Amino acid sequence: MGQNISVTADNHQISGYLALPTSGTGLPVIVVQEWWGLVPHIKAITDRLAQEGFVAFAPDLYHGVATTEPDQAKKLLMELELDGAGSEIVNAAKYLGQLPESSSTSVSVMGFCMGGALAIWSATLSRNINSVVGFYPGQSWERHKPDWRQFKGKRALIHCSEADGTSQAPSIQEAFTKIVAAGGTAELFDYPGTKHAFFNDDRPEVYDEQASRLSWDRTLKFLKG
């Protein structure tokens, strides 16, 4: 089990949920929340990564606020200061890569829904972030305005639900095309019959066990690669 932390690193305040492998060192991975906040589901994913040998950290982008109500979640998302969230992820990556338990200063970032888009975007913001995993990321890059050229030499893995338009959705195709054009690599996987947020086992109305298991296996292989 991990723990909530709040530390100052390089004059930056870092807060969130940190889970360490049971022994030795591991590759560092950041987990970025859905629009609900740093809820138990995100903490459970962070713990699962630690159990697989990773040094895992989920930054608290809402700073202590979390919800299960869609209307409030939408409000929190709209109020999120995007540049501030990007800076928090970049600072978290620097902090995580410098931990004695981390076996590398290069950090992977994975995220879900809102966090999926933030994870992909984060690779354009920091040299320390070299690989990203996006689960059903957001539908538009208008707010993020990524400099896709920063993906040169980096890797991306994107899991796509059928309800969101599969890998043929315009935002997914834009990310894939721009990443490859920049000299990065990108893999897209479709999960037929799935709804948005199919990985979230706290939401039985959308959860898909088979797709969740398959996407997790693919993610672990990607992160360890």
- Compute the average pLDDT of residues 171-178: 97
Superfamily of domain 3-224: Alpha/Beta hydrolase fold, catalytic domain (3.40.50.1820)
pLDDT band at residue 24, thresholds of 50, 70 and 90? confident
| Percent helix / strand / coil, the chain, rounded to 5 | 35, 25, 40
Mean pLDDT of all residues in 155-162: 98
Confidence of residue 72 (pLDDT cuts 50, 70, 90): very high
- pLDDT > 80? residue 7: yes
Domain ranges of the chain: 3-224
Q: What is the pLDDT of residue 142?
A: 86
> Given a cut of 90, is residue 217 above it in pLDDT?
yes
Flag whether pLDDT at 66 surpasses 90.
yes
- pLDDT above 70 covers a percentage of the chain that reads 100
Strand order across the 185-191 sheet:
3-9, 12-19, 55-59, 28-32, 107-112, 129-135, 155-161, 185-191
- pLDDT for 139 beyond 90: no
The model's pLDDT over 96-131, given as tens digits with 9 standing for 90+, comes to: 999 999 999 999 999 999 999 999 999 999 999 999
Its pTM stands at: 0.97
Q: Rounded to whole angstroms, how far apart are CA atoms 147 and 219?
A: 24
Task: Give the pLDDT of residue 58.
Answer: 98
In this prediction, residue 1 has a pLDDT band, given cuts at 50, 70 and 90, of confident
Burial class (CB in 10 A: 0-12, 13-18, 19+), 117: buried
